[in-house]
Amino acid sequence: WCLGSVFQAAGAADQILHLLGKEVAAPWLPLAVFAVTAVTAFATGSSWGTMALLMPLALSVLTGGDPAAVPAVAPAVVGAVFGGAVFGDHCSPFSDTTIVSALAAGCRPLDHVLTQLPYALTAATAASLAYALMALGTPSLAATVTTGLSLLLTVFLLTRSGRSG
């Protein structure tokens, strides 16, 4: 409730609606939602609070206020809210899960974030690539397979380079 009150007092909903406004074409909305959600979750340290704030806003922008007008990108927008919120929360040094994980590991929260950041950024880059491919007209299955293969190639190259060094 406290986080919701802070969001309301700061006018967060209006600012986020402005960021996601009508200037973003529908095919690019999942990528924009992913980015805005990731930044919001990072800044607040809360994935659940960010999901609760962004889901209705993103769907409102998506439908233009008319729930019957749900375009084909709706599943990607919903996924972008979830993915961006988890990514931003995972990278936030003041997230409750980051602090508890750092305490359990016996390290500082910032050290924990720095060890997790390469993995989280790799996943976020892959998600962004998939959203961009879909926005450019690639069918979602093809974008997902392409992104999955690029992740496999990245892991293969990174593990192979680690063996030679």
Q: What is the pLDDT of residue 68?
A: 57
* Residue keyed to tokens 């996943």: 123
The stretches of the chain forming alpha helices (DSSP H) are 2-10, 12-19, 29-44, 47-63, 74-91, 96-105, 109-135, 140-164
Q: What is the pLDDT of residue 137?
A: 92
Integer angstrom CA distances of residue 109 from 15, 28, 97, 112:
29, 34, 10, 5
Q: For the chain, which ranges sit under pLDDT 50? A: 165
Q: What is the pLDDT of residue 83?
A: 95
Q: What is the pLDDT of residue 85?
A: 95
Q: What is the pLDDT of residue 143?
A: 94
Q: How far apart are the first and last CA of the chain?
A: 50
Against a cut of 0.85, is the pTM above it?
no
Segment 9-54, tens digit of pLDDT:
666 666 666 666 667 777 888 998 999 899 989 988 889 888 988 8
Tokens at 45, concatenated = 């340290």
